[in-house]
Amino acid sequence: MPTIRLLALAVVGAVALAVTGCSAPATPVPDAPQYTPASTSTLPGTWIIADTYSSPDQPFLTFERDGTWTGSDGCNDSTGTWSMDLAGVLTTTSGPQTQIYCDGAHLPLFLIDSVSARFDGTDLTLVGHDGSDLVKVHKRTMTEKAVARGTTVVVGLWTNTEPGRDRLLQLTMNDDGTVKGNDGCNDFTSTWRFAEDGSVSFGKLAITSRTCEGVVTWLNLASSAVLDGPTMVIRSMYGAQLGTLTYLKALPGSAEQPVDGATPTPTATG
| CATH numbers and ranges of domains, the chain | 36-144 (2.40.128.270), 156-261 (2.40.128.640)
Model pLDDT, residue 26:
53
Answer for the pair 20, 37: CB distance below 8 angstroms, yes or no.
no
What pLDDT score was predicted for residue 76?
Answer: 78
pLDDT value at residue 263:
37
Alpha-carbon gap, residue 268 to 270, rounded angstroms: 7
- Is it the case that residue 25 has pLDDT exceeding 70? no
User: pLDDT tens for residues 241-258?
Assistant: 888 898 887 765 544 433
Cβ proximity of 129 and 144 under 8 Å: no
pLDDT at 111: 94
Please check the confidence at residue 91 and state whether its pLDDT lies above 90: yes
- Res. 43: pLDDT tops 80: yes
> Looking at per-residue confidence, does 59 or 81 come out higher?
81
- 113 versus 228: the higher-pLDDT residue is 113
Nearest CA to 147 among 91, 195, 110? 195
pLDDT (average), residues 158-178: 78
Residue 192 pLDDT exceeds 50: yes
Q: How far is residue 149's CA from residue 147's CA, in Å, rounded to a whole number?
A: 6
Mean pLDDT of 184-198: 83
pLDDT score recorded for residue 189? 92
Q: Among the ranges 122-131, 149-158, 161-170, which has the highest mean pLDDT value?
A: 122-131
Residue 102's nearest CA partner among 65, 157, 58 is 58
pTM, entire model: 0.46
Q: What integer best gives the mean pLDDT of the chain?
A: 74
pLDDT of residue 36: 67
pLDDT at position 270 is: 31
Q: Which has the minimum average pLDDT: 7-16, 189-198, 223-232?
A: 7-16
Q: What is the pLDDT of residue 180?
A: 93
Digit-coded pLDDT (tens) for 102-148: 777 889 999 999 999 988 888 899 999 998 999 999 987 644 444 44
Q: What is the pLDDT of residue 126?
A: 94
Mean pLDDT, rounded, for 213-220:
82
Q: Supply the pLDDT for residue 237.
A: 79
pLDDT for 228 beyond 50: yes
Q: What is the side-by-side order of every strand in the sheet holding 45-48? A: 36-37, 114-119, 123-128, 133-139, 45-48, 60-63, 68-72, 77-84, 90-94
